[in-house]
Amino acid sequence: MTFFWRYPALPAALAVAALAVLPRTAVAQPVQSLQAIADAASRTAAARATQAGFDDLQVTVQPLDQRLRLPACGVPLATAVTGNSPRLGSMSVKVRCPEPSPWSLYVQATVLATLEVPVLVRSVGRGERIVRSDLELVQREIGTRPGTLILDPARIVGLEARRDLPAGSTLQQGLLAAPLLVERGQTVTLVAGSAGLEVRMQGRALDSGAAGDRLRVTNLSSGRSVEGVVAEDGTVRIP
């Protein structure tokens, strides 16, 4: 597991929750190291991502205002990621000194993880079905929740693009859809019963659907409307 912690050179504003600044009469009092605050925030942000299963991390902490003069903490700094911050990307880390002179502040951190992800090697048009040769695995820095990214190429092959996708695109669930096997109004084969005792009849689809979708069909023999599940071969199985 590798961590890369970076601290940009340009200063930025901080959201300070309860900032205890040394009084002018106590200038000789030890001052808290700003580097130690940044390091504490970095470790906490990295640990949060590690607990979620990510490694090969790069953590960037927003610079602290060099004018800050906080009383040196007499115990290890306490840290916590605030709110519903994501495991990756931008997050706010609360750094707190419990004693002897309590103070707390919020430090902004950004966590990136390097993952192997499938990307398109060519542009794919809307409605075009993706094949395995359209994909290659590359190392990418991910700074957003990867929950919507499809990391397994096997889950992509056979799906259709919902819009034009340029070469180099990572693939998210919302960009792809299973191809329709049944179109509304199409004549389909209805299958009822179990293996060894199946009844097949003709029906007309009242909805469109992909494999695994439930849709309504009309039995052309009886005229009754029933509901079934689209099979991989395009038949509709009636439970």
Confidence of residue 8 (pLDDT cuts 50, 70, 90): low
DSSP for 50-87?
Answer: HHTT--SEEEEEPPPPTT---BPPSSPPEEEE-TT--S
Greater confidence (144 vs 65) lies with: 65
Name the more confident of 76 and 144. 76
The confidence score (pLDDT) of residue 87 equals 84
Indicate the pLDDT class of residue 21, thresholds 50, 70 and 90.
very low
Does 180-238 carry CATH code 2.30.30.760? yes
CB-count exposure of residue 180 (10 Å: 0-12, 13-18, 19+): middle
**2-11, 25-34, 155-164 — most confident range:** 155-164
How high is the mean pLDDT of the chain? Answer: 86
Over residues 117-122, the mean pLDDT reads: 95
Residue 148 has pLDDT above 80, yes or no: no
Q: Work out the pLDDT band at 16, boundaries 50, 70, 90.
A: very low
Per the CB < 8 A criterion, the answer to whether 113 and 54 are in contact is yes
CATH number for the region 117-138+146-177 comes to 3.90.1210.10
Would you say residue 98 has pLDDT above 70?
yes
Tell me what pLDDT residue 146 has: 64
* Domain spans of the chain, in order of start: 3-113, 117-138+146-177, 180-238
Long-range contacts of 137-140 (CB under 8 A, 24+ apart): 139/114, 139/115, 140/114, 140/115, 140/116, 140/170
> How many other C-beta atoms are found inside a 10 Å radius of the C-beta of residue 74?
11
User: 188 to each of 58, 90, 232, how far by Cα in Å?
Assistant: 54, 51, 13
Residue 13 pLDDT class (50, 70, 90 cuts): very low
